[in-house]
Structure formats: structure tokens, C-alpha cells
Structure 1
Amino acid sequence: MTFNENANVGNSKARRRGRNAAIAGGGGVGVIAIAVLLISMFTGQDLTGLLGITDGAGGGQQPQSGGAIIEDCETGADANERDDCRLVLGAEAIDQFWAEELPGYREPQLIIVDQATSSQCGTASNQTGPFYCPPEETVYVDPTFFGLLRSQFDASAGSLAQLYVLAHEYGHHVQNLTGVFEQHPNNGTGADSNGVRTELQADCFAGAWVAAMTEQEDVDGDPYLLAPTPQQIADALNAAAAVGDDHIQEQSGGEINPESWTHGSSEQRQRWFDVGREGGVDACDTFSVSGSEL
């Protein structure tokens, strides 16, 4: 995935927050910790309790207010060079896509996290990974997390893989707006659970945006994005597979147990991403199919 170098980022509403927050413990992050972080990155689950991490404020406290304007992210060329600018410009394109797809769509707040910040859904940092906080209608992402994965875990965190993660979290925002969370509340774990169906739908929404990503334009009429290459699509699919429940169970040395699933298998996450790419948003009703069709 490559941004048009002339694309204008002038309309961004994203903010940076948390520069003065401290992460207890400091120092490097070990291999086991990175494995936990990889799971958090794509599932949105705050697993920092396993790592002994806190921002000093405690989870669930009121979020810090405001935030600084993102500086030096002005064009697509900046987005091609920097992870934070890539997320900022990617959010503009995703918002434009959903404004066209969903009547009454309102944009979520995007917070680029610097070190750590508090939210109503817990601590946001590179240790928790990207997540969506429904009561705030806010997506939190620390872009240093992608570099951490690339350098220490050999994980697929290329440009399109990063935007797949962002689009997945924006998919949860759409579910929040459309009442999916209320209509299909958490009913426990399992391969046929509402949790799995919710996550697979967000993967499908991400795929629908990827298919249309070259259609969104900036204020000057320039496309934000160029068409993704086959390798970039493969990277996004690999990212989806890496966070399948079965793959995570295998990596942890346990048996594959579908009754404990909350997000779906690697095959399901890849397939529903492709369903969205091929069929668009209308093909993403994961709640109307039988368990055997998920």
C-alpha cells in the first residue's frame, strides 16, 4: 500500500496524547511480552495485567482531555515515511469511505498515543496495542508498536497490515453506531459466539475498505492511495492469520479448543477479510449465517 505523495492531510482531526505519561518498569520488552503484545495488537484486549504494566493512572479512569495536533504530517509522502502519518492519513480515507457507505456516519476520534495515556477502556500504549473504546467513540493507536513488532518479533507489520488493523478498529466503531453491540451482546466464548461473529465482521469491513481504498480523494481531488500490490495484500492476510484463535493457542503450546474462541480461526479471519474485498460491506453480515458457514 502506497499513498499518493501529493495527497493532502490538511483535514486531519487526529490528536497525539500521552507524552508525559510513564510506563512502569521501562527498559526492553522480552520475547514472551512481545507475544502478548501481538495478541493485543489485533484483538483489542488489554493484556497488560500479564506484563505488569501501568500508566500510573489505572485502567478505566477518565481519559486525559484534549491532545496536541499531529505535526509534520502534511502529505502522502509523509505517510509513506512515518507510521504515525500513515495512520492519520489512513483514518481520513477510512472516514470518507464510511461516510459514503453509512448514512449518518460520524467520525470517531483517533488518538495517536505517545508512550501511554488513560481511557475509559483502560490504558492505551504500545503494550496494549490498538483498540476501540465504545463509550468514547475513540480509536487509540501507539505507532511505535508496529516498529516493535518488526524489529523484535518478525511480525508482518507492513504498511497495509497496519491499515488493516486501523480499518478493523474503525469497523468496531461502525458496529457501535449501527447497534451491533446492543443487538448481539457478549454471550460467552465459542466458535459460534457473538464475539467471534463481531470480530469477523470487523475483518470483513476492513477488507471492504481495502477494495475501495483507491476511490477516496483529498480536498484537491487527488486519490489518497494507490492500488495495493499482491505482496501488500499477502501481508495483510498474514496479519489476520497471525491473530486467529487457533494459531494463538498453537503458539502458546496448548491444544486447539474452539469452545474458548473469541475472535475466530486464522482461516476465518483471512476468509472474511477476502469476503469484504470481493463483496463489499453488504457481504459482511456474519450474524445471519450458520456456525458452519462462519
Structure 2
Amino acid sequence: MEFNSDARVDTSQIEDARGRGGGGGGGGFGLPGGIPLPTGAGGNMGCLGVVGIIIFLAIQFFTSGSGGTGGGFDPQGGNGVSTQNLSAGDTGADIQSCNTDPNFLKRDDCRLALIINSVNAFWTQYLPQATPQKVQYRTAVTQLYTQGTQTGCGQATSAVGPFYCPNDEKAYIDMSFFSNELQQLGATNTEFVQAYVVAHEYGHHIQNILGILQQGQQMDQSGPSSGAVRIELMADCLAGVWANHATGTTDSSGVKIIKSISDQDIQSGLDAATKIGDDHIQQQTQGQVNPESFTHGTSKQRYNWFKKGIDTGELGQCDTFSGGI
């Protein structure tokens, strides 16, 4: 994945909360290697993340002020997150420095910021064209954090993984997820895999804008054909739609953001999709597969829907509610 060194990072789309430290409420437990497991399932659909069983999805915890059982979120506050900025993150530099750092493309956070810029730029232009009602896109901010943070959906810890909160329309990412949990599942930590994760969360933002999250909330929240699974597979497809158009996105001055995405990049993303299927994760962590507890879809489904978005580049091809999945 080749980024354009002439592109300018729009840091207004990133909230840098790294280094605040602190954790969320209790709950959950870890396997050797630090893979967290959920303590339960169910609840209403709130915030949504890219990974299934190893992540405490806010389906279980976030309902606009009411909490669920178990898990790594404490909507009531729990163990508060420290507001002291102990560190800015990966390089000790705040995200604002991406536009003054001559080596910014060597920094994970700056490249991730460009991906966020690209995703926002794409949907701003594409969404009104792709919807009969010419729905206008609302730019969503991504917060980068470490250990824990307070969100519009409650308090979160890093165990949650990347997720989207519809209450404040923000995506939340602790970048350690890419080198820790994701790799523990067998995925390769490439720039395009990181882009897939970001674009998936922004897929949930599109669903929120279009009212599709509410549609999914009215259905069962676990099971092979549940509303939760349909929501997540659609977000995978929407991530693929962005990927199809990514090299055509530009910054505010019209400078191309992403120069190229190779076939190898695409394959790494598709491989990551298979590694975060419910069946694969359950087999890895529990030694057995229980379809009735699925919340994100199987490896094959995630691969197929992500690829469908990549191949077609059309929002209309991402309908996971009208038929079989």
C-alpha cells in the first residue's frame, strides 16, 4: 500500500487521546498470550467492533445509558481513565506533528490518519451519489487511545478492540490491537489490514447515517442469521467498497492520498477477514464452534462480503438483510 508523501494529514479528523492510561470496568478473562474472552452474550446493539468473540462488543454493553452484564465496559464510570497525558503514543509525538515530520509516512499513526482521511473523503463524495435520497455524509472522528477511554457509549478498555460508537459517532482504536490481538489470531499486520479495520468501523458509521443499525437492533443479537451478523458482514462489504475506490481519494487540496494498493495488499486483508470469523476465533479459543453465539459471521462469510465490496465497489451490493448471507 503506497501513500502519497505530498498528501496533507487532516488532523481534525483524529482525536489523539493516547497516553492517558487507565482502564475500564472489570470483567472478562484472558488466555495465555492476552486474548480476552467475553463473559456473556446478548443485550442491545450499541457500539460495534470488527472482531467477534475475543472482543467485548458493545452489543452487550451499550444501550444509551443502560449497561449490560459482564465485559470490559462500565457505562457507569467504573475505574476512571486518568486524564494526565503521560505519553503521546508510538513515537512520543502527537498526531498534530504528522504535517511537520519529514518522516511521517514511516509512522503508523500518521499512515492510519491518512487512511481515516481517505475513508472520510470517499464517503463524503460517494454517499449522496449512491443513495436515491442523496443522503449527505457526516464526517466521523477517530479517537486513538491507549489502555482505556471514556466514550459516548460508556467506558472502554483496550480489550474491546477497534469499535464504533453511534452515540457520539466516533471510531475508537488502540493501535496495539494490530500488533497484539490481531496477530495472535494469525492475521498479518499490514497497512492494508489496518485500513480494512478502519474502513469496517466507518462502515458502521454509514449504517448509522442510513438507519440500518436500528434495523439490525430489532433482530436477534446472536446466531448465524442474526441482525448482529448481518450488520457486521455489511460493514465488511462497505469496507471493500471504500477499498475499491481508495486510490481515487484526495486531500482538501486535491492531492491523491493513496497512490496504489497491490494484489498482495488485498490478499492480506482478505486473509485477515478469515482470521476474525466467529468460527475461526471460537475454534482457536474454545476448541469448538457454537453457531448460536455468532455475532460477526464465519470466516467464509467475512471473506466473501469483504471481497464483494472490493470487486463491485457499490453500496447497493452490500445488502445483507434482503436474503441469505
> TM-score category by the smaller chain?
0.7 to 0.9
Matches of 2:291 and 2:239, distance apart in 1: 24
Q: TM-score, normalised by structure 1?
A: 0.83
Amino acid at match of 1:247: H
Q: Does 1:184 align with 2:216?
A: yes
Aligned with 1:100 (options 125, 129, 132):
125
Output one character per residue of 1:30-88: Cα deviation in whole Å (capped at 9) or x when no partner: 63423649xx76349427998979899428x99x8xxx972221289756322221221
Aligned counterpart, 2:32: 31
Matches of 1:101 and 1:198, distance apart in 2: 20
Matches of 2:299 and 2:168, distance apart in 1: 30
Query: Which segments of 5 or more consecutive residues in structure 2 lack a partner in the other structure?
Result: 39-48, 59-68, 89-93, 129-135
Q: TM-score, normalised by structure 2?
A: 0.75
Matches of 1:256 and 1:250, distance apart in 2: 6
Matches within 5 A, 1:39-78: 42-43=51-52, 45-46=55-56, 57-58=77-78, 70-74=95-99
Matches within 5 A, 1:140-219: 140-149=172-181, 155-185=187-217, 186-219=219-252
Greater share of helix = 1
Kindly tell me: are residues 149 and 46 of structure 1, through their superposed partners in 2, closer, same or farther at Cα, counting changes over 3 Å? closer
Amino acid at match of 1:285: D
Q: Assess if the C-alpha contact under 8 Å between 1:149 and 1:155 holds in 2.
A: no
Aligned counterpart, 1:251: 284
Aligned counterpart, 2:46: none
Matches of 1:133 and 1:10, distance apart in 2: 21
Aligned counterpart, 2:44: none
Q: Assess if the C-alpha contact under 8 Å between 1:12 and 1:89 holds in 2.
A: no
Aligned counterpart, 1:22: 22
Matches of 2:230 and 2:9, distance apart in 1: 34
Matches of 2:184 and 2:294, distance apart in 1: 27
Please report how far the alpha carbon of residue 198 of structure 1 lies from its aligned counterpart in structure 2 after TM superposition. 0.6
Matches of 1:214 and 1:177, distance apart in 2: 24
Q: Assess if the C-alpha contact under 8 Å between 2:56 and 2:72 holds in 1.
A: no
Matches of 2:167 and 2:200, distance apart in 1: 17
Which has the higher mean CA deviation after the structures are superposed, 205-214 or 1-10? 1-10
Matches of 1:269 and 1:47, distance apart in 2: 17
Output one character per residue of 1:89-124: Cα deviation in whole Å (capped at 9) or x when no partner: 111110111111223110112111133211132333
Output one character per residue of 1:114-159: Cα deviation in whole Å (capped at 9) or x when no partner: 3321113233343321100111111011113223347766532211
CA RMSD in angstroms, aligned pairs only = 3.3
Q: Does 1:284 align with 2:303?
A: no
Q: Does 1:84 align with 2:109?
A: yes
Indicate the percent of aligned positions where both proteins have the same amino acid.
Answer: 38
Matches of 1:135 and 1:141, distance apart in 2: 16
Aligned with 1:122 (options 143, 151, 154):
154
Kindly tell me: are residues 95 and 56 of structure 1, through their superposed partners in 2, closer, same or farther at Cα, counting changes over 3 Å? same
Kindly tell me: are residues 77 and 155 of structure 1, through their superposed partners in 2, closer, same or farther at Cα, counting changes over 3 Å? farther
Q: Assess if the C-alpha contact under 8 Å between 1:19 and 1:116 holds in 2.
A: no
Matches of 1:243 and 1:151, distance apart in 2: 10
Amino acid at match of 1:46: F
Kindly tell me: are residues 256 and 75 of structure 1, through their superposed partners in 2, closer, same or farther at Cα, counting changes over 3 Å? farther
Matches of 1:223 and 1:118, distance apart in 2: 34
